[in-house]
Copies of this chain bind each other. A is one copy, B any other.
Amino acid sequence: MGRTSDAKEKILSAAQSLIELRGYSALGVAEICKAAGVPKGSFYYFFESKEALALAVIDEHWAGQKQDWTGILNSDAQPLDRLRQLFEVTEAGQRAGQQSCGTVSGCLFGNLTLEMSNQTEAIRTRLQEIFDAQVEMVDSVITEALARDEVAVTDTREAARSVVAQLEGQVLFAKLYNNTHRLSPLWANCLALLGARVPQEALAGS
C-alpha cells in the first residue's frame, strides 16, 4: 500500500469508474479494492461503508462539475450563450467518456438517482442537493436573460427545472443509444422551453 492519501484517491477513482460502468448495486468492496490496487483493510480505514464511499464519489464528482458549471454560467458571455456553452461542454464530456471506455456512461447523478434514490435516504438527499444547486445556477442565468427581455418565462425556477430535466432526459437517450449526437438538440430545446426571442429556425425540431 502506498501513502494513505494515495490509497484513498485510488479507491475513489476506481469506484467512480466502476459505478459509471456498472452502477452501484452490482459492485462489491473487494472488487473496488482490487481495481484500485489496495488491500481491503485500507478501504475500511477510509470509508465506514460502501454507502459512505458512494457519497464520497458523488461529492468528488460534483466538486469538479460544479467548478465547470460555475466557470461557464458565471462567465462574461451573454446569458443564453452561457447555456449553449453548458450543453456543448456536456456533449464534449460524454464524447470523451465514450472514447475512453467505449460507451456513453451518462450522468453519474442521473444514473444514481434512478438506481439508488429510493434505497438510501443519505444518497437521495445528497443528489437532491446537487440537482437543487444545478437548477439554482441555471435559474440565475435565466433571470439575467429575462431582465434583458431575451426570454419569456414567468417562473424562472420552474423554467430552470425544465431545462435541467431536458438535459437529463437527452443524456439518458445518449446513453441508451450510445450516441452523443442525441445531445445536439439541447440548445434549440432550451430556447423553446424558455420562449427565447430568437429566429424561428432555432426552435425545437428545426
Q: Which residues of A contact B (CB under 8 A)?
A: 21-23, 25-26, 103-106, 110-111, 113-119, 124, 127-128, 131, 152-156, 158-159, 161-162, 164-170, 172-173, 175-178, 182, 185, 189, 192-195, 200-201, 203-206
Instruction: Check A165 against B161 for contact (C-beta < 8 Å).
Output: no
| Contacting residue for A169 out of B26, B124, B153, B172, CB 8 A | B172
- A115 → chain B closest CB, angstroms: 5
Question: Secondary structure at chain A's binding surface: helix, strand, loop or mixed?
Answer: helix
Which B residues touch A161, using CB under 8 A? 173, 182, 185
Which B residues touch A172, using CB under 8 A? 110, 113-114, 165, 168-169, 172
- A179 → chain B closest CB, angstroms: 10
A167 to B162, CA, bound (A): 10
A24 to B25, CA, bound (A): 9
Contact of A119 with B154 at beta-carbon distance under 8 Å, contacts A175-B114, A204-B162 already known = no
A124 to B178, CA, bound (A): 10
Instruction: Check B205 against A153 for contact (C-beta < 8 Å).
Output: yes
Instruction: Check A189 against B185 for contact (C-beta < 8 Å).
Output: no
Which B residues touch A154, using CB under 8 A? 201, 205-206
